[in-house]
Amino acid sequence: MMLEINTVKELREAIGPEKAKGKKIGFVPTMGYFHEGHLALMREAKNRAGIVVVSIFVNPTQFGPNEDLDKYPRDLERDRGLAEGAGVDILFVPSAAEMYPDGYATYVEVAGDIADVLCGRSRPGHFRGVATIVAKLLNIVMPDAAFFGEKDWQQLVVIKRMVHDINMDVEIVGIPTVREADGLAMSSRNAYLNPKEREAALILSRALRLAHDIVKGGERDAARLSKALQGYIRAEKHVELEYLEVCDPESLAPVDKIAADTLVAVAAKIGKARLIDNTIIHVGGS
């Protein structure tokens, strides 16, 4: 039976005895409204750990003032059933007051380029909010491993950097993006799309597939690749391209030449949804 817990104190009381028995703890932090991408994280956590803890918390500090915090989709009833079906042992659903009580004053910030580029440019403060809540949750759950989707590639890089820099004793595991049959990356925000927008959104995953084809065809110049892909996306009138960048997967710095593993990352507005996607192109024997 899955346990549902709302307070930090009760969560620690539930996890402590399991750790004392020598059980490994796998942790999946989420904002809920589960799809197959979340379930893939939970299943992998279940494969690797004796006890799986999943949190559902729509974290206010990672949303900007004009973003979709209030509208972010929520369905706790459905999420409970899906988590239980995926073998989750403990569902942690704290309130905002539990995570950020009156007088809360501490934030974790990964300084420098990896948090400022790509999504960091249009969402100032976003990764500070993510790093803060993830640091808090990792301190509360103290898992052996925590699982994050590679769809949020930059988030994964930021979290790995934070964990490394402040010596947190946890393995951060990235799990490949789960896609719909037609290629659309799964995202809770896909719920915002009407059928026409849903169709238009396919341009993002198609552009990423095209990136692989172009590089397979011999292109190694990042600026030319980027220009071709931007043109391809801009031809879709329902899609407002925010960025398409060709960069190093670890430093997130733009590259000139595609000579090693290369990240192609894209963000776009489609109707009310801001969607992101990415792919890694493997070249040069890497």
Annotated catalytic sites, by residue?
Answer: 38
Binding mask 221-250 for ligand PAF (x = CB under 6 A): ------------------------------
Smallest gap, in angstroms, from Cβ of residue 166 to ligand PAF?
17
Residue 120 binds ligand PAF, judged by CB under 6 A:
no
Of 11, 27, 34, 62, which lies in the binding site for ligand PAF, with binding defined by CB under 6 A?
A: 62
User: Rule CB under 6 A: is residue 187 a binding residue for ligand PAF?
Assistant: no
CB of 162 to ligand PAF, least distance (A): 12
Work out which of 51, 134, 156, 193 binds ligand PAF, going by CB under 6 A.
134
Q: Does 175 bind ligand PAF (CB under 6 A)?
A: no
Q: Is 130 in the site for ligand PAF (CB under 6 A)?
A: yes
Residue 189 has φ and ψ, to the nearest 5°, of -75, -10
* Residue 30 or 262 with smaller CB distance to ligand PAF: 30
CB of 55 to ligand PAF, least distance (A): 7
Smallest gap from Cβ 202 to ligand PAF, in A, equals 22
CA 276, chain centre distance (Å):
10
List binders of ligand PAF among 22-41 (CB under 6 A).
29-31
- Of 204, 208, 207, 211, nearest to 275 by C-alpha is 204
91 binds ligand PAF (CB under 6 A): no
